[in-house]
Structure 1
Amino acid sequence: MKAGVWKIVGAIVALAGSVATSTAQPIPGGPAGPIKVGVVEMTLQEVPRVVTSPGRAVAFQEVEVRPRVGGVIQEILYSPDQLLEVGDPLFRIDDSAYVAAEASARADLAKAEANLPVTQAASDRAEQLSGRGFTEAEVEAARADLAEAKATLDASQAALDYAQTELSWTTIKSPISGRADVSSVSVGDLVTAGQSDELTTIIQSDPIYVDMVEASARILSVRKGISDGALQQNDTLEATLTLEDGEVFRGNGQLVTPSNSVSTTTGTVTIRFKFDNPDHVVIPGMFVRGEVVIGTTQAFLVPQLAATRTNTGKLSAYVVGDDGTAQQIEFDDDGVYENAWIVRDGVSAGDQLIVDGLSSIRAGQEVTPVAAEIDENGVSRDADETGVPRDANAPAAEN
């Protein structure tokens, strides 16, 4: 019985020794070889300088309609979906009192017109018989009566004009072309002259303004580039719009005017452009994204997928060094064009920029460069010997 136990213990000790011996052996394998990476060659080229800014649509004209005379609304003469022209009627106010006032003013004018010839004749007679039956005082009185009659006639004419004007104001008309909101009053409501509440609002949105905001620091950078000769400014500035749903708005906007001051709260400057909007696609108040081509500059285009932003604000990327290893470089950007950073310093012509295989790259790593291309979506693809792009992540074809 004891002999069997000792045999089992001996077997366990022998097994433990063999395990210890096997774990102590070195793991086979050596240092990894060069890593295949996709690269693009950096070339200096003429790049459009495009500034992208948020913006908001603003009505070309906007009018709050208020009554100029008081009274009861008798009729609403428009519909909210109607395109109005200047002078189109909107509301009609009860004009009974104003018709009576106009008739009274007209009667006063007729009376003044009838009285003028009488006083004129009396004045003429007094002038002719001065000193022969008419004293100097009587002549002066006749002159005064004539002047008063003329003044009464002028006042009566002015009163009639004003009465007719007030009568015309009982029909409220559109002062601009555009579309009116739903009426804020109903038939039978009493309104007063110059009240604070508007009857409706008319908005003209063709053409339409778009106010874009731009950081004052970027404006200074653009001005410096122009003064240094690094940026060739376009003769005219035009803008394109991207709407909230991602659709590009048809047509370009013309620069109206930049703001003359910087916002003290946001540090931005408002720049206004005017767009034709015949289909009223852009609605006042709508938020949009605007792009403005300021000019062109000589620069390198570094694909955005190849660079990362460092803690210092610079961009970092890898290039293939002369010794066949990956070398890390840092540089500043001068804006964005499509899917690439615009870079003027820190990159040299002929540099092989690594755009694919970056997840396993470290500085000093041996690499094997493979020509790659960046498609319109900013995706890296290798180019085989025939020049036909293929997916950079796909395995290479076997020989």
Structure 2
Amino acid sequence: MFGSVCKEAGYLRLWIAAAISLGLTAHDAAFAQTGAPPMDVGVVTMAKQEVPRILSLPGRAVAFRQVSIRPRVSGVVEKILYDPTKEIAVGDPLFKLDDASYAAAVAEAEANVATAQANATASKASYERSKSLEGTATSKAQVEKAQATMATDEASLKSAQASLDFARTQLSWTTIKSPIKGRADVASVSVGDLVVGSQSDAMTIVTTLDPIEVTMQESSTIILKLRAEVEAGSLKITERLKAKLTLETGEAFASEGNFVAAGTTVTTTTGTASLRFRFENPGNKILPGMFLRGDIQIGTVDAFLVPQRAAKRGNTGLLTAFIVDKDNTAKQVQFTEKGTYENNWVVETGFQPGNKVIVDGLVAMRPGVKVNPVPATINADGLVQDDASKPKTEK
């Protein structure tokens, strides 16, 4: 029994020693933490400013003009007159049809006009002669008959002339010309093919590629919110809308687009409305059907610019960032963005003028951590620079 008591006393001494050791360790750790110097962090001071409001929208290129070329008269294709690799001007010939029958029709119509002209000339002379002899050698009835014959022959002449004009028009249609400038696809017909006037199949398609138009889509929900912001006065609309494009490769397109028109309906499948812009397209870099991204400056707002590198999106979908609170401690704040501008979030609420947003040292950042704020700027590449304009790496 004595041995058992001694054994228990030994366990008690070990437990007390361990507790004391743990207490000292915790105290030392706490002392080390409170005694550590504040972490140097780069900060950007918040100030409201007039910021362009940019809408970033998906878009698709559509042809400025596009025409399906079909024959207006029937005939056999004799020649294909264009090069698909070269630009076509308005009025350039594309196809030549066999015109023998149409040339013959013109010759026949010309003969009919000549006959009608001769008849009209003769009947007019007869009428004038009868008119001069009326009451002596010619009766009134004869004069009236001569007048009627003259009128009939003049009408026949007009009819013959109209037939000649139509025959000449049909002959001209045997040379099929482009009504617009642009590029023509490879012909869908070959020399020797028979084509029929007003057939449904196109012989080729001519497309104007410069300029090019881009249709962009925005949800009706966003449109209603923007309208509410305009009515509230927080969004000042730009007088003339402009757009910039980003290609599928991520490359920025050089030309700036002008607003053409807005859609008047919302699609039932996607709930979006369309906006169309027109761009100069030198070198035909953009082709119809390409998917693009458009940035539209719709106006300006008074807002804060929060560097994107300073914020991350939480599980709730809201963005969070750290600011320097009183006593130089880090405080986490949540905010909702109203779009982006360059490397910044556009934010209207959630910050106060003078707030210092922490832009680096974020890996180890936690609420309540002591910090030493150092003024910093963000360069065009989104990198933090101190007052000496030297890029700083993430801590």
* SS of corresponding position for 2:284: coil
Indicate if the aligned counterparts of 2:383 and 2:391 stay in contact, CA closer than 8 A: no
* SS of corresponding position for 1:196: coil
Q: Distance in 1 between matches of 2:77 and 2:315?
A: 67
Q: Distance in 2 between matches of 1:174 and 1:237?
A: 33
Q: Distance in 2 between matches of 1:335 and 1:37?
A: 30
Counterpart residue number, 1:52: 56
Q: Which amino acid aligns with 2:207?
A: I
Q: Distance in 2 between matches of 1:116 and 1:387?
A: 96
Counterpart residue number, 2:393: 391
Counterpart residue number, 1:264: 268
Query: How far has the Cα of 1:359 moved from its partner?
Result: 4.5
- Is 2:92 the partner of 1:88? yes
Deviations 1:163-205 (A, max 9, x none): 0110111011111111111000000000000000001111111
Which one is further off, 122-131 or 330-339? 122-131
* SS of corresponding position for 1:103: helix
Query: How far has the Cα of 1:270 moved from its partner?
Result: 1.8
Q: Which amino acid aligns with 1:296?
A: T
Counterpart residue number, 1:370: 373
Q: Distance in 2 between matches of 1:86 and 1:252?
A: 26
Q: Distance in 1 between matches of 2:118 and 2:250?
A: 75
Of 16, 20, 26, 2:22 maps to 26
Q: Which amino acid aligns with 1:390?
A: K
Query: How far has the Cα of 1:42 moved from its partner?
Result: 1.8
Query: How far has the Cα of 1:111 moved from its partner?
Result: 0.6
Q: Distance in 2 between matches of 1:387 and 1:110?
A: 92
Q: What percentage of residue pairs aligned between the two structures are identical?
A: 46
Write out aligned runs for 1:62-101 (5 A).
62-101=66-105
* SS of corresponding position for 1:249: coil
Query: How far has the Cα of 1:136 moved from its partner?
Result: 4.6
- Is 2:155 the partner of 1:147? no
Counterpart residue number, 1:191: 195
* SS of corresponding position for 1:285: coil
Deviations 1:246-298 (A, max 9, x none): 22222222222222333333232222222222322122222222222233332
Counterpart residue number, 1:309: 313
Counterpart residue number, 2:301: 297
Q: What is the aligned residue count?
A: 377
Q: Which amino acid aligns with 1:292?
A: I
Counterpart residue number, 1:255: 259
Which one is further off, 241-250 or 75-84? 241-250
Cα gap change, 1:387/1:93 in structure 2, threshold over 3 Å: closer, same or farther? closer
Write out aligned runs for 1:159-308 (5 A).
159-308=163-312
Query: How far has the Cα of 1:357 moved from its partner?
Result: 4.1
Q: Distance in 2 between matches of 1:159 and 1:213?
A: 52
Deviations 1:344-374 (A, max 9, x none): 21101121223334444444x2322332443
Q: Which amino acid aligns with 1:367?
A: K
* SS of corresponding position for 2:146: helix
Which one is further off, 45-54 or 28-37? 28-37
Indicate if the aligned counterparts of 2:53 and 2:297 stay in contact, CA closer than 8 A: yes
Which one is further off, 129-138 or 71-80? 129-138
TM-score (ref. length: structure 2): 0.85
Indicate if the aligned counterparts of 1:240 and 1:249 stay in contact, CA closer than 8 A: yes
Cα gap change, 1:125/1:303 in structure 2, threshold over 3 Å: closer, same or farther? same
Indicate if the aligned counterparts of 1:373 and 1:389 stay in contact, CA closer than 8 A: no
Cα gap change, 1:387/1:164 in structure 2, threshold over 3 Å: closer, same or farther? closer
Cα gap change, 1:389/1:102 in structure 2, threshold over 3 Å: closer, same or farther? closer
Indicate if the aligned counterparts of 1:240 and 1:251 stay in contact, CA closer than 8 A: yes
Indicate if the aligned counterparts of 1:60 and 1:208 stay in contact, CA closer than 8 A: yes
Q: Distance in 2 between matches of 1:339 and 1:117?
A: 86
Cα gap change, 1:48/1:137 in structure 2, threshold over 3 Å: closer, same or farther? same
Counterpart residue number, 2:4: none
TM-score (ref. length: structure 1): 0.84
Which one is further off, 31-40 or 155-164? 31-40
Counterpart residue number, 2:355: 351
Q: Distance in 2 between matches of 1:98 and 1:141?
A: 38
Query: How far has the Cα of 1:152 moved from its partner?
Result: 0.6
Q: Distance in 2 between matches of 1:153 and 1:170?
A: 26
Counterpart residue number, 1:6: none
Of 36, 39, 49, 2:39 maps to 36
